[in-house]
Structure 1
Amino acid sequence: MRKAGTLLSVYLAYMLEYRAELFLWALAGALPLILLGVWTEAARGGEFPLSPGEFARYFLMVFLVRQATVVWVVWEFERDVVEGRLSFRLLRPLDPFFDHLAAHTAERLARLPFVVLLTLLFFALFPEARFLPEPGAFLLGLGLTVLAFLLRYTMQYTTALLTFWTERATSVEEVFFLLYLFLSGTIAPLEVFPEPLKSLALLTPFPYLVYLPAALLAGQEVALFPGLWIMLLWGVGFLLLSRLLWRLGLRRYSGQGA
């Protein structure tokens, strides 16, 4: 706990030095708020499983969930390996997995004020998005958001470890990002998907990164099980794979670029 507290305080101070950049990062995740207006207007003139107000609340929650679960570790780790900086991290009695995790957690705390301001702004622009969530569903949604962040972090960290074999692990992550964008519920809630595509998507980890916590936070009725078990299964699978790739990758690492 002492090490965790020290890491968080150091990285929080580091992140606060780049407040303007954090605001731009928060704005960069505003795609759900754009889609909020698109789907809200579409629901007013067509037959959809969600009402305009439900669409508005859902995409607002998607915005908040994505702000809490954004991950960039693959770019950091790739640069560490290519430039030989991983050698210095290996001298510390701390797995880089936890070092990068602390940086991501501190960034969430530093980003929070900007996210709150943007949320209040869009509450003003879209009054139909205002609602009072049920306490139980809200707390469950927050818990699932934390799990979604850990799952996405573990998935991307596993991809980052491919840098030991290829210097462009980010290219693999870009393929995963396309799947994430379309299957996670970021572009559209799963309720509007054709049934075969929805069933297929629910077997992948992507809907549990955005759709499940966002739908719960928005007050929609969703099936928590077996979704939670699938989410945990993918998380354990990627964690075990990352440990295997880490051990195998260290045997190949030669500090190139150092």
Structure 2
Amino acid sequence: MLSRDILGGAVCVQLLPRAAYSAHDPAQWHTLGVTLERQTGIHAINSDHRVDFDTLPGVLAQTPIGVDVFSESMGGGEYLVLRMDRYFADQHLPALDQRIESAGHAGALRVAQQIRRALLAPQVDHLSLEQTVLSLVELAKPAQDRAHRLKSNALKPVLDQITELYQQPLTLEQMAGTYGCNALRLLRDFTRAVGTTPHAYLVEIRLQAARHLIETTDLALAIIALEAGFAHQSHMGSAFRQHLGITPSTYRRRTASSRR
């Protein structure tokens, strides 16, 4: 987990990795979270009633102080969370008495990815990080987008297809066939529900797979690129630089240093 205290300690920025977890938030912080990766598991919000969840990237969730959250996942999923003290939350966010979510939030997903990139940088630019975090706070809206949630349920076969076949050169037509509509309709519905295009989602899946292999194996980067679905090592390197602001070799050195 990468963690940074900013704004005089009023906000703690955390990048939670893809990993199995069982967490019970003591509700001492006002939290703002964005899913960077699909995640399934069970949770209980302010009750003892546990229900299954299947959360897509681009879900912006806001939980006020006092709301108790239990969450458990066998595989986890990369997740960005801001933990804010009461004074900061009262100054910058609407008063809430329950957890709210907005699905398919393209703006929140884009800003969360920018924060992830800043946290992974060899040298963190604190001013830039603080400004980007504040821009995410500005995007928080006290409303649930039920229409997007319904769309995401309909898209689950396509999401499963990408998860299972990300190593292959998938086409929009293939995914549209799974969805049961034309390519343009799929592109429109997918972007609205997930907050990103099918291609961008596929690249993210490949990046997550490559990062996992870099973190857990000693395989050559050229082999990892092919295992993760990239055409070649240079293709993977370009994706790392564009989306994470770091090269695969630098990422390997950094994660090896963290393990030590």
- TM-score (normalised: structure 2): 0.28
Structure with greater Cα Rg: 1
Structure with the largest fraction of strand: 2
Structure with the largest fraction of helix: 1
> Of the two structures, which has the highest relative contact order with CA contacts closer than 8 Å and spacing of 6 or more?
1
- TM-score (normalised: structure 1): 0.28
